């Protein structure tokens, strides 16, 4: 007789993000293959009815059982994906259907562990499962999560957060990192790394790694600013003072500062520093370049300036960052 592994119930509902649903099972499916003795996981998809569910990508998925049937099972992990809609102003709004929220609350009560993927955190929040906890979600909806639920300590930076038996994951592909972390908790780091290797995931990222990077900032509606952003990204090793940028854009320094503040919510100098830190982060993760060469190539000039910038932007040092996140 086949032994059934740890039961993972994935919540399905209309408009759910496809990768949120399919990504984690891909990770979980490799556990049994990569371990000799473990039974691994048994993943099922649950919905309100047995009718096909249409995802945001237009792909239809068939549930394995209903929420009512799932509630009668002994659930190891309840996995709650998310969904969004875009309003007429192109603003992203997370979906929190009251019926789904109600079932999430019921199913969570009978689960050993609960985890949300991406904007699924909004469903957990609506169900009261994040009250008094620290949580993350996709960076684009984090301000709304904080505004709607002030009792939650929203941190939009980490790729996932664990608070007791409740886990929250950041945007989209971070569902793989979250899933690997769950595997590591259940079967150990060695198994999680084997699974990551099979998935050709170059690095199993710790939860503290930021989901934010400068290129992911909202795209400006001003062509001049977009041109400046591209210019900055291509000339980080050059001198990029406010005067230099203003001359490149053919505007005054005061006008440039006003434009940056209105379009990107920051100053030109702060943006340049963020872009340089982002470039340095990438090189620290993937190369063995010295800090002296890194400071020069990224436009910091000296290692002292590099270190100060890292402390301001990431609350760590370049050396500490490399030790934690260096791949390979």
Which CATH number fits the domain that encloses residue 124? 3.40.50.880
87-115 pLDDT tens trace:
777 778 899 999 999 999 999 999 999 99
Asked whether the predicted pLDDT for residue 265 surpasses 70, the reply is: yes
**Cα–Cα distance, 149 to 227 (Å, whole number):** 37
Backbone phi, then psi, for 327, in 5-degree steps?
-85, 130
Which residue, of 154, 171, 198, is where some domain finishes?
A: 198
Are residues 259 and 229 located together in one domain of the fold? yes
pLDDT at 201: 64
Residue 208: phi, psi to the nearest 5? -75, -10
Q: How many domains in the chain?
A: 2
Domain final residue pick, 140, 166, 198 = 198
Asked if residue 230 and residue 191 are part of one domain, the reply reads no
- Domain that residue 303 falls in: 214-325
Asked if the structure places residue 1 within a domain, the reply is no
Backbone angles phi, psi at 91, to 5 degrees: -90, 140
- Ramachandran angles phi, psi of 160, nearest 5°: -160, 160
Q: What is the DSSP letter of 88?
A: T
- Clarify whether residues 108 and 162 are in a common domain: yes
User: 265 lies in a domain?
Assistant: yes
Assign 210 a pLDDT band (cuts: 50, 70, 90). low
Task: Verify that 13 and 137 share a domain, yes or no.
Answer: yes
Q: How confident is the model at residue 266, as a pLDDT?
A: 86
| 189 and 44 inside one domain | yes
3-state SS string for 51-83: CCEECCCCCEECCCEEHHHHHCCCEEEEEECCC
Return the bridge partners of 111, or none: 75
Residue 20 domain flag: yes
In a domain, 203, yes or no: no
Say how many C-beta atoms besides its own lie within 10 A of residue 155's C-beta: 15
Calpha distance 322→189 (Å, rounded): 20
pLDDT, tens digit (0-9, with 9 covering 90-100), for 132-171: 999 999 988 999 999 999 999 998 888 889 999 999 998 7
Q: What is the pTM of this model?
A: 0.68
Residue 215: band (very low, low, confident or very high) from pLDDT cuts 50, 70, 90? very low
Q: Are residues 193 and 240 in the same domain?
A: no
Determine the Cα–Cα distance for residues 117 and 154; give it in Å rounded to an integer: 15
CATH of the domain at 262: 1.10.10.60
- pLDDT, residue 54, reads 97
Q: Are residues 218 and 193 in the same domain?
A: no
User: Phi/psi at 224 (nearest 5 deg)?
Assistant: -60, -40
Has residue 35 been placed in a domain? yes
* d(C-alpha 178, C-alpha 184), whole Å: 10
Mark whether 151 and 293 lie in a shared domain: no
Residues 233 and 299 in one domain: yes
Query: Would 23 be classed as within a structural domain?
Result: yes
Cβ pair 161, 167 in contact under 8 A: yes
Is 204 within a domain?
no
Residue 318 neighbours by CB under 8 Å, 6+ apart:
280, 284, 291, 294, 303, 306, 307, 310
Same domain, residue pair 218 and 191: no
Neighbours of 323 (CB within 10 A): 11
Q: How many CA atoms lie within 13 A of 324 on its CB side?
A: 13
Q: Give the residue from 225, 220, 184, 218 showing the smallest Cα distance to 201.
A: 184
Average pLDDT, the chain: 88
Q: What's the longest Cα–Cα distance across the chain? A: 77
Same domain for 117 and 224, yes or no, is: no
Shared-domain flag, residues 257 and 292: yes
Q: Is residue 209 part of a domain?
A: no
Mean pLDDT of 120-128: 97
């Amino acid at each position: 007789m086949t032994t059934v592994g740890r039961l993972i119930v994935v919540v399905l509902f209309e408009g759910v993000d496809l990768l949120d649903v399919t990504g984690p099972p891909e990770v979980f499916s490799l556990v049994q293959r990569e371990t000799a003795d473990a039974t691994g996981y048994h993943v099922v998809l649950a919905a309100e009815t047995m009718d096909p569910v249409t995802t945001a990508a237009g792909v239809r998925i068939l549930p394995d059982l209903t929420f009512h049937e799932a509630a009668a099972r002994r659930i190891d992990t309840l996995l709650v994906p998310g969904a969004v809609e875009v309003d007429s102003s192109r603003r992203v709004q997370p979906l929190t259907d009251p019926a789904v929220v109600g079932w999430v609350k019921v199913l969570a009560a009978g689960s050993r562990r609960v985890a949300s993927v991406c904007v699924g955190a909004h469903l957990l929040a609506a169900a009261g499962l994040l009250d008094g906890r620290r949580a993350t979600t996709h960076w684009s909806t984090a301000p709304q999560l904080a505004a709607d639920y002030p009792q939650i300590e929203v941190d939009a930076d980490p790729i996932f957060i664990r608070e007791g038996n409740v886990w929250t994951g950041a945007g989209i592909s971070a569902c793989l990192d979250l899933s690997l972390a769950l595997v590591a908790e259940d079967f150990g780091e060695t198994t999680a790394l084997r699974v990551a290797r099979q998935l050709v995931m170059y690095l199993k990222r710790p939860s503290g790694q930021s989901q934010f990077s400068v290129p992911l900032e909202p795209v400006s509606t001003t062509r001049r600013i977009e041109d400046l952003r591209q210019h900055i990204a291509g000339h980080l090793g050059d001198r990029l003072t406010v005067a230099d940028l203003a001359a490149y854009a053919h505007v005054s320094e005061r006008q440039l500062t006003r434009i940056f503040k209105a379009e990107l919510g920051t100053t030109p100098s702060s943006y340049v520093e963020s872009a340089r830190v982002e470039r340095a982060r990438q090189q620290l993760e993937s190369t063995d370049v010295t800090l002296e060469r890194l400071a020069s190539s990224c436009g910091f000039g000296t290692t002292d300036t590099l270190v100060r910038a890292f402390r301001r932007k990431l609350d760590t040092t370049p050396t500490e960052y490399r030790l934690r996140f260096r791949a390979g």
